[in-house]
Each structure stands twice: as structure tokens, then as C-alpha cells.
Amino acid sequence: MYSLLHKNVMKISKFRLLSSFAAITLFAVVTQWTMTQTLSAQTEPAAAAEEVEAEAEPVDDEKSLIDMYKAGGWAMYPLSFLSVLGLGLIVYNFIAVKPGPILQSEVLPQLEDALKTLDISKAKSICNENPAPTTNIIGAGLARVDLDHYNAEQIKEAVEEASAEELADPFVLINYLSVIGSLSPMVGLLGTVSGMVKAFNVIEAEGAGSAQALAGNISEALITTATGMIIGIPAMFFFFFFKNKYGKITSRVGRIVGDLQFTINTALTKR
């Protein structure tokens, strides 16, 4: 019965986790697309006026973000996807990686009181009504408690098995930040290689005198490298930030479970 309920809780938790992450990612994509369309709409009307005034005014060498985005070439599209995905992961982990949702500290005194009186059914009920990694781990241990034939080793094994499963799930989305931090500079470097190949093709076709064509291709090479680093550096920083934060929380989980095991062992010896 407990295992069936535990699986249902796990499915609901994963569904909520994926739904939240999908909503954050969709919001970031829509926001970026809206900003891109707005900036593009602002630059298009201005282009006609700039052409008319080009003969009377000196040329402005400064480029807008949209111009730089377009100059980056094809590599800017996967880099944009990685940036949106990284932003969504960072926002989600700021919301999810907290002691409260993982530890459920408010129900721990109730669990301790129930175990002191050896009310195992009440303790199981509390765990089932408050699904979280910590309460799921405790519930897995309580599922193997038999007061007439108490075996501490079996409970310890159940807790270890549940810990490996429960504490691995939240870390998956933290680990994806490491993937983004590693992939972004590599995609940027690939765009750099692409831009340099185009530059050499121009030299081969037109000679070294075509400075404007060379500048465009070299610009593509440099922009993609810089963009990849801009995305990758924050992603790696937040990966280690959330990894260390999650490590502290999981160490508290181990201590809480150990304290409750000690409580039930003490209650049994006094019985």
C-alpha cells in the first residue's frame, strides 16, 4: 500500500516539477522573442531615415544588439536556446532548492512525538500527507518497521535505498546547468570556426582587398565566441552555487533521518 502511494506521490511531484520548469522556460522564450521583435520593429523604420541622411551625416559605426545578433550568424540560434534554458533553470532552482520544500521541518516534531509513543501508523500517515524527499525517506523506513520483530538493519537499508532515489531527482535540474555551461562555449567556438572559414573563402575568391566582407565574417567569429562565454560563465557559477546549497540541505536530511531512527530505537528499548 505504501509503495503504491509513494509511486503516486513521486509521479505527482515529478509532474509538478516538469510543469513548473516548462512554464518558466516558456515565459523566458516569449519574453526574449517579444524583445527581439520590438527591437527589430524599432530599427526597421529608422533604417529608411538613415539611408536618406547617410549622405549628409557621418556614418555611425556603433551597432545595436540586433545588428550584433544578426552578425553572429547561425550559431546565435542554438546559443539563444541555451541562454533561455539556462535562465529558466536558474529561476527554477532559486525556487526549488530551499530547505523548506525538501525537509518539511514543520512536520518533524509531529513525527518525533509519534515515534516516541511507537505510533507507527500515525507516523506513516504524517509522511503520506506531507510528501517531500525527507518524509518519503522516513516513510520508506517506517514501511519495514515491525514492532514485534524489529530489525534495525532492514530499516537502515530501506532508508538508504529511498535516499538514493529521492535525493537524486532534484539534483538533475541542477546538473543541467553544468551541461549548459560546457556546451555554450563549444557552440560559440564552432561559430567562430564557421566565421573564420567564411573569411578565408572570401580571401580565396576576392583577395585580401575585400575588407568589408572579411570584417563581417571575422565579426561573426568573435561575436559567437563572446556570446558562448557570456552564457557559459554564469551557468557554471550557478551550477556550483546550487550544488553547494543542495549539498548542505542533503546533509541535514541524513541527520534528521538518523535522529528519528535513534528515537524509535530508544522507544523500543524502554518498552
- Residue ranges per structural domain of the chain: 2-43+64-96+119-270
Cβ(6)–Cβ(139) under 8 Å?
A: yes
Other beta carbons less than 10 A from residue 214's beta carbon: 17
Q: Which amino acid is at 167?
A: L
pTM: 0.67
pLDDT digits (tens, 9 = 90+) for 48-101: 444 444 343 444 456 676 777 777 778 888 999 999 999 999 999 999 888 888
Separation CA 236–CA 213 (nearest Å) = 35
The rounded mean pLDDT for the chain is 75
Look-up of cell digits 572570401? 202
| Helix (H), strand (E) at residue 41 | helix 2-53
pLDDT digits (tens, 9 = 90+) for 195-230: 777 777 766 676 655 556 666 667 667 888 889 999
pLDDT digits (tens, 9 = 90+) for 90-136: 999 999 888 888 888 888 888 888 888 888 888 889 888 888 888 88
Separation CA 63–CA 225 (nearest Å) = 17
Q: pLDDT band for position 23 (50/70/90)?
A: low
